Structure 1
Amino acid sequence: MAVFFTSDTHFGHAGALGRFRRPFASVAAMDEAMVAAWNATVSPGDEVWHLGDFALRTGPDAMAALLDRLNGTKHLIAGNNDGPPTLALPGWASVGHYAEIRAEDTHLVLCHYPFRTWNGMYKGALNLHGHSHGALKPMPRQIDVGVDVWGFRPVRLAELAAPRRRKAAATAAAP
């Protein structure tokens, strides 16, 4: 089982096209491209931590159907655009606002929002976050896992920890 991270998919959100300069002709095209990229990357037996802002302007039934189409066991760390219907979706293995986990022998602090300080930051812990859509200059050991940074797909820790390759990977993977 591999562990992946992502954030800020904004499924169903027309405003994401212009505001975040997403290269899609329509919301439907964006949503389908992200589902395809997710499923090409994540196997059904993998685990995915979604660090917030899953979908906007999408009803609960449509969100549940969308979540069901995505491979893997999915955990949600709530973002500012994740309301009660998103948090209540039956497809989440867990829902919270913050988590600390170990993956690939690394202590990870997960939140939708980037931190200035976090537990274990001086002992090798990484802060994985979303919210900033690649616009925030990161601190050491702090990584934006949002789809706008990573080619509209979830990413593994090994890829996240290779900062020199981030921009090239995002550019190569963009639809």
Structure 2
Amino acid sequence: MNFYTADTHFYHDSLLTSQVFSPRSQFLTVADMNETIINHWNAKVKPNDTVYHLGDIAMKYTKPASLIMAQTFDILSHLNGHIVLIKGNHDSSALFKYLAQQQLNSQNGQPKFDFHEVGVRLKFDHHEVFLTHYPMMLGLTKNQINLHGHIHNYSVHAKENINVGVDSPDIDYLPSNSVPFGAPLSENEVIAIIAGKKRDYLQRV
């Protein structure tokens, strides 16, 4: 099964006190936040599943920089599934190179990680789906959808753009409290969000 997420921002302590952007005041420490995301991820994702992570894995400034790379690898190595990483603005090429050098094998023998600098194109539920970190402006389209992250607790004012980040308000198109914080969205949940946002926006016309 395929899952989708973005903007986990492991180790990003300033989010715990932010009043506006991606507020995560429910956590007292980044260790608590990290553990919650890991537990909710692994409760939902099985070892043979695939998770598309649409950028901004972790954020912490360390000296040397390799320290946060090692900490990020440690987090990712504890997460279930084959993880397809799409680079976000807080993910460096050096991080991707480090993760590739530390490459693990997932349970089915495949490499644990795949890496993409810009994005991935998929097809499901009769949609052409573009997976990117930054939102794409698709314009007038019938069957194209953009799954993205980057904007945290905001939503693009277009029915074709679905924010799959852990802070996304687009998750509100699903039943209340059905997605624990940090749990990736299943493909069926993404399909339900696409349909819900489309209905919502067509009613506004």
Q: TM-score range by the shorter chain?
A: 0.7 to 0.9
**Alpha carbons of structure 1 residues 85 and 66: separation in structure 2 relative to 1, 3 Å:** farther
In the TM superposition, residue 108 of structure 1 has moved relative to its aligned partner by 0.8
Tell me the distance in 2 between the aligned counterparts of 1:138 and 1:73: 32
| CA deviations over 1:72-118 (Å, ceiling 9, x no partner) | 11011111000123222134223321211123553210110111227
1:133 aligned partner: 152
Tell me the distance in 2 between the aligned counterparts of 1:47 and 1:8: 17
**Alpha carbons of structure 1 residues 154 and 125: separation in structure 2 relative to 1, 3 Å:** same
Aligned residue pairs total 163
1:172 aligned partner: none
Name the amino acid aligned to 1:61.
A
- The runs of 5 or more residues in structure 2 that have no matched partner are 61-66, 101-111, 172-180, 198-205
Name the amino acid aligned to 1:21.
P
Q: What value does the CA root-mean-square deviation take over the aligned residues?
A: 2.1
TM-score, scaled to structure 2: 0.72
TM-score, scaled to structure 1: 0.84
Are 2:94 and 1:85 aligned? yes
Name the amino acid aligned to 1:28.
A
1:171 aligned partner: none
Tell me the distance in 2 between the aligned counterparts of 1:24 and 1:165: 30
Q: Which residue, 47, 50, 63 being the options, matches 1:47?
A: 50
Q: Could you tell which deviates more after superposition, 140-149 or 153-162?
A: 153-162
- The runs of 5 or more residues in structure 1 that have no matched partner are 167-175
Are 2:59 and 1:56 aligned? yes
2:115 aligned partner: 94
Are 2:182 and 1:152 aligned? yes
Tell me the distance in 2 between the aligned counterparts of 1:30 and 1:103: 32
Q: Could you tell which deviates more after superposition, 61-70 or 2-11?
A: 61-70
**Alpha carbons of structure 1 residues 84 and 34: separation in structure 2 relative to 1, 3 Å:** same
Name the amino acid aligned to 1:86.
L
Tell me the distance in 2 between the aligned counterparts of 1:71 and 1:165: 28
1:68 aligned partner: 77
Name the amino acid aligned to 1:71.
N
Q: Which residue, 99, 108, 112 being the options, matches 2:133?
A: 112
Bigger-Rg structure (1/2) = 2
**Alpha carbons of structure 1 residues 72 and 125: separation in structure 2 relative to 1, 3 Å:** same
In the TM superposition, residue 147 of structure 1 has moved relative to its aligned partner by 0.4
1:21 aligned partner: 23
| Contact 1:3-1:103 at 8 Å conserved across structures | no
Tell me the distance in 2 between the aligned counterparts of 1:85 and 1:12: 18
